[in-house]
């Protein structure tokens, strides 16, 4: 709906699926190199950076030196890169080696297609890679369509924007071929002032979507904050795409809070990956032909359905944590009445004291529950229509109201059928045993030793072994994703960090054998031999009925 009114700012996370390491990956590679060279140990002794014990060993050594910023600070990446590679020429060679051989991912190709359709005109990036340009070369079948501006030609940026020579890509940290490569703290502080001013000026005319960028560079964040000091900044909004369970950096949160106070429409948008976001945008875009993107993937490896493994050489390489939903509701109740948004709908349900599952859409209130309960909740708002609503599969392909309704209904059905409690966290539902002493949890206890307890030093913070549950769409069908994890009771802003640390320490050593056992346990428990799972168990009205398969998705190499 805002085609052409939103700029994009891409960070390293947008290039991760193309094989280019993120800042987090490179930070640990730099730390590993410093540890090996300073301690003069064998590289094999700290080769496994996925190991928490290896990371602790390396970080303890670096902390003792007291010469680098603390772990996780915004200055850490630049400082440790310079410590590992003091020479600018060596830093350039390092970046060059990481970029070599990378090909545009689906997200880059989708972004280029949006450029061609006029939906995206201006892209800013902190990346050194040429992936946006390579994607445009494929989509446009030409290398001249995109104007790329780096630090050694900053004057061109204003000229091209003024002339509307779209599309334009502006590299805030230079290009990996550029003589003026900038990648250390000192260099970032002296980033070209004219280029940053162009960014500030553009923020007065357009909104901004930030993808794959952590917000660690003072120069870029200073520019975004400076833009908010101008009247009418970000007229089409400011949206920060964020992946992972950890919160964004404090400065990112502060930026969006400032934007909200200035009256800017803004949000932190939880995403799975840059590629997934772009795929969803392509699906719902009226200006893009998704088949165009399919043709660009012919030279890349594609997935195809595989037969069930039968043992021997046919066993999969990877077992996934996705359970097929073999039966899902196709209809729900729709109520049209004079009521506000979801908050008012939820308040009406609470006020009526009824047990119904609800979602709010433009076509009305979507519900599961007995008809009498639904009417009791919404009669005070003047019901004008009371009928059935078909849940279309295309509405389940992205985070829609219908998907949220089914996720809530499935969580309720699993809790009702298996003795679980539900705790809601954004687009996920956390499920944990209600009665931990019940014999059904004996096998789970054998796998993880204990399934409940108190976080040390925080007597009010209790934990239980459980799962996070999400709904996803793949292979033209719905799946439920299960992720074994700790579920906390009594969590507050003050103890949230302690909960995260405890959960990380408890789960970091769960390797293949244990994770396989956990997925197997939860899959068999939740699927229950394919029996029906009813969200409410009502005799009248509309109930949500599901069936799950205990055979998880898997991946393996195709023959030949």
| pLDDT one-digit tens code per residue, 399-410 | 888 999 999 999
pLDDT (tens digit, 9 = 90+) per residue, 242-277? 987 678 889 999 999 999 999 999 999 988 889 888
190 has pLDDT over 60: no
pLDDT, residue 381, reads 96
- The average pLDDT across 503-520 equals 90
The two three-digit tokens of residue 107, written as one number: 């997200």
pLDDT, residue 235, reads 96
Return the percentage of the chain with pLDDT > 90, whole number.
51
> Mean pLDDT: which of 43-52, 157-166, 211-220, 256-265 is highest?
256-265
Q: What is the dihedral of CA 256, 201, 133, 185, to 10 degrees?
A: -70
Quick one: pLDDT band at residue 177, thresholds 50, 70, 90? very low
- Find all residues with CB under 8 Å of 152, minimum gap 6, and list them: 174, 178, 179, 180
In this predicted structure, the answer to whether residue 180 has a pLDDT above a threshold of 50 is no
Residue 314 above 60 pLDDT? Answer: no
Can you spell out the DSSP letters for 135-197? Answer: HHHHHHTSSSS-EEE-GGGHHHHHHHHHTT--SEEEETT--TT-TT---SHHHHHT--HHHHH
pLDDT over 80 at 323, yes or no:
yes
Q: What is the pLDDT of residue 154?
A: 67
Tell me which residue of 382, 422, 351 sits closest to 365, measured CA to CA. Answer: 382
SS3 467: strand
Q: What fold characterizes domain 6-15+102-284?
A: Rossmann fold (3.40.50)
Structure-token pair, residue 487: 């579920």
Q: What is the pLDDT of residue 306?
A: 64
Domain boundaries, the chain: 6-15+102-284, 23-99, 317-560
pTM for the model stands at 0.57
DSSP string, 254-307: HHHHHHHHTT--EEEEE-S-HHHHHHHHHHH-SS--HHHHHHHTTTS------P
Helix/strand/coil for 239: strand
Site of tokens 């833009």: 227
Q: Which two tokens stand for residue 354?
A: 């009824």
Average pLDDT over residues 29-47: 90
């Amino acid at each position: 709906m805002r085609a052409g009114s939103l700029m994009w700012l891409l960070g390293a996370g947008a290039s991760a699926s193309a094989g280019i390491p993120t800042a987090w990956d490179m930070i640990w590679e730099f730390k590993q190199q410093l540890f090996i060279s300073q301690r003069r140990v064998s590289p094999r002794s700290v080769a496994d950076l996925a190991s928490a014990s290896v990371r602790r060993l390396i970080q303890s050594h670096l902390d003792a030196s007291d010469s680098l910023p603390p772990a996780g600070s915004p200055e850490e990446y630049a400082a440790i890169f310079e410590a590992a590679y003091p020479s600018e020429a060596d830093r350039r060679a390092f970046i060059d080696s990481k970029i070599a051989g990378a090909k545009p991912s689906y997200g880059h190709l989708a972004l280029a297609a949006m450029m061609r359709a006029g939906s995206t005109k201006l892209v800013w990036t902190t990346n050194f890679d040429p992936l946006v340009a390579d994607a445009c070369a494929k989509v446009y079948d030409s290398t001249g369509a995109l104007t790329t501006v780096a630090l050694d030609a900053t004057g061109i940026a204003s000229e091209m924007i003024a002339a509307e020579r779209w599309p334009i890509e502006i590299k805030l940290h230079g290009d990996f071929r550029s003589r003026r490569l900038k990648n250390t703290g000192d260099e970032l502080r002296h980033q070209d002032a004219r280029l940053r001013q162009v960014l500030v000026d553009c923020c007065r005319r357009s909104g901004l979507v930030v993808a794959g960028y952590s917000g660690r560079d003072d120069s870029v964040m200073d520019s975004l904050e400076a833009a908010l000091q101008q009247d009418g900044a970000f007229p089409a909004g400011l949206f920060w795409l964020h992946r992972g369970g950890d919160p964004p950096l404090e400065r990112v949160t502060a930026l969006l809070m400032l934007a909200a106070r200035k009256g800017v429409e803004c949000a932190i948008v939880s995403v799975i990956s840059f590629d997934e976001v772009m795929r969803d945008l392509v699906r719902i875009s009226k200006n893009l032909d998704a088949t165009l993107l399919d043709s660009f993937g012919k030279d890349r490896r594609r997935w195809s359905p595989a037969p069930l493994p039968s043992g021997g050489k046919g066993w999969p390489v990877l077992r996934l944590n996705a359970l097929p939903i073999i039966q899902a509701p196709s209809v729900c109740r729709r109520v049209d009445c004079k009521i506000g948004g979801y908050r008012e709908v939820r308040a009406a349900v609470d006020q009526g004291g009824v047990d119904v599952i609800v979602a709010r859409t433009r076509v009305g209130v979507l519900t599961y529950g007995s008809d009498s309960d639904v009417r009791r909740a919404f009669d005070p708002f003047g019901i004008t229509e009371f009928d059935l609503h078909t849940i279309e599969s295309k509405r389940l392909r992205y985070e829609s109201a219908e998907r949220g309704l089914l996720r809530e209904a499935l969580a309720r059905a699993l809790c009702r059928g298996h003795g679980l409690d539900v705790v809601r966290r954004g687009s996920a539902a956390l499920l944990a045993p209600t009665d931990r002493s019940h014999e059904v949890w004996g096998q789970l206890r054998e796998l993880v030793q204990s399934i409940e307890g108190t976080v040390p030093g925080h007597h009010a913070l209790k934990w239980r072994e459980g799962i996070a549950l999400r709904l996803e769409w793949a292979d033209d069908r719905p799946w439920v994703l299960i992720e074994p994890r700790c579920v906390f009771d009594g969590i507050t802003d003050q103890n949230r960090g302690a909960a995260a640390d405890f959960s990380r320490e408890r789960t970091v050593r769960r390797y293949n054998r244990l994770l396989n056992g956990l997925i197997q346990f939860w899959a068999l428990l939740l699927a229950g031999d394919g029996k029906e799972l009813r969200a409410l168990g009502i005799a009248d009205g509309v109930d949500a009925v599901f069936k799950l398969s205990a055979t998880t998705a898997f991946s393996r190499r195709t023959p030949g």
